[in-house]
């Protein structure tokens, strides 16, 4: 009986989930031009029947959530003062631990499911089909669904900042820049069905699995010293460098590889990425200079 159960468990763990979450009613990109990205009055008839997907693809919704995030710090400072909340409260520590556990598991699930999608497409269609995905087959095979899911999770990650504020700490410019920037960029890239998002989803899901596991350990056992933490910061910097270097070619390949709106969002990602690299290097120098 035990061997049979192990076989069944192994089959379940190796099954790749490929949800169907089209971002538009016809499965095609919502936008292909820069003008389309800037137009805040999209025709709702292009949005899918799935209300949840349609909600998060509306540019007005994205703008509203990012605006709230950028202006929310005074509100959460007030909540902390008014509630008398402290980090010693068991309920608060438990909630923070569950938050980190949820994001660690979610990131691991995303990595587990998205990596095989890209690998299988590479083996079947070759490197160029993965890099450019001109016919949208990689996006339809599962990259699009996981890109959308990962994109929506970036709004939940705003809670990282709110947790800090409820602890009585200040949110750094690095953190606010990081969270607000990636939410906007991933929205534009998902709307454009950008195949280069594979570098964001594949690399960032792995890094976030490690990062939120680290946060979980420090929440449950704050006294635990994890000397490898500095290598996690280096890995974060490394993913930005690798992602930028790997996607430069898309600009030179032009329309035969990607749409105008997708290349514009990629340029935004590169500019944003260089900013993150500078901020993370400065952070690492401050925190680990004596290590």
How far apart CA 239 and CA 202 sit, in angstroms, is 10
pLDDT tens string 58-116: 999 999 999 999 999 999 999 999 988 877 788 889 999 999 999 999 999 999 999 99
How far apart CA 158 and CA 197 sit, in angstroms, is 20
pTM, two decimal places: 0.91
| Model confidence at 8: pLDDT above 90 | no
- Rounded to 10 deg, the angle between the 197-220 and 229-247 helix axes is 170
How far apart CA 288 and CA 290 sit, in angstroms, is 5
Shortest CA distance to 138 belongs to which of 256, 33, 146, 48? 146
| Model confidence at 228: pLDDT above 90 | no
| Model confidence at 170: pLDDT above 50 | yes
Identify whether the C-beta of residue 240 lies closer than 8 Å to the C-beta of residue 218.
no
pLDDT tens string 236-272: 999 999 999 999 999 999 999 999 999 999 999 999 9
Q: Please, is 93 exposed, middle or buried when counting C-beta atoms within 10 Å of its C-beta (0-12, 13-18, 19+)?
A: middle
How far apart CA 56 and CA 61 sit, in angstroms, is 7
Provide mean pLDDT across the span 173-179. Answer: 96
Identify whether the C-beta of residue 185 lies closer than 8 Å to the C-beta of residue 240.
no
Whole-number pLDDT of residue 17: 82
- The domain spans of the chain are 31-38+73-288
């Amino acid at each position: 009986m035990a061997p049979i159960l192990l076989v069944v468990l192994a089959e379940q763990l190796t099954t790749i989930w490929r949800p169907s979450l089209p971002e538009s009613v016809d499965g095609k990109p919502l936008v292909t031009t820069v003008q389309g990205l800037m137009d805040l009055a999209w025709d709702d008839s292009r949005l899918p029947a799935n209300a949840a997907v349609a909600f998060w693809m509306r540019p007005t919704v994205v703008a509203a959530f990012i605006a709230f995030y950028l202006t929310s710090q005074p509100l959460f400072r007030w909540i902390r003062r008014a509630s008398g909340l402290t980090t010693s409260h068991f309920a608060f520590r438990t909630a923070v631990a569950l938050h980190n556990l949820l994001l660690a598991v979610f990131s691991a699930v995303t990595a587990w499911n998205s990596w095989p999608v890209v690998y299988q497409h590479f083996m079947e269609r070759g490197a160029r089909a993965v890099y450019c995905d001109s016919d949208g087959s990689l996006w339809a095979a599962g990259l699009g669904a996981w890109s959308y899911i990962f994109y929506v999770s970036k709004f939940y990650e705003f809670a990282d900042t709110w947790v800090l504020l409820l602890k009585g700490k200040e949110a750094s410019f690095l953190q606010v820049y990081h969270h607000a920037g990636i939410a906007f960029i991933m929205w534009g890239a998902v709307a454009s069905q950008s195949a280069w998002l594979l570098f964001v989803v594949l690399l960032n899901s792995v890094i976030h699995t490690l990062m939120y596991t680290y946060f979980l350990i420090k929440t449950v056992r704050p006294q635990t010293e994890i000397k490898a933490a500095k290598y996690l910061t280096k890995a974060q910097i490394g993913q930005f460098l690798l992602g930028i270097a790997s996607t430069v070619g898309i600009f030179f390949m032009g329309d035969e590889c990607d749409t105008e709106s997708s290349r514009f969002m990629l340029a935004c990602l590169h500019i944003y990425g260089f900013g993150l690299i500078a901020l993370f290097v400065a952070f690492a120098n401050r925190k680990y200079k004596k290590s």
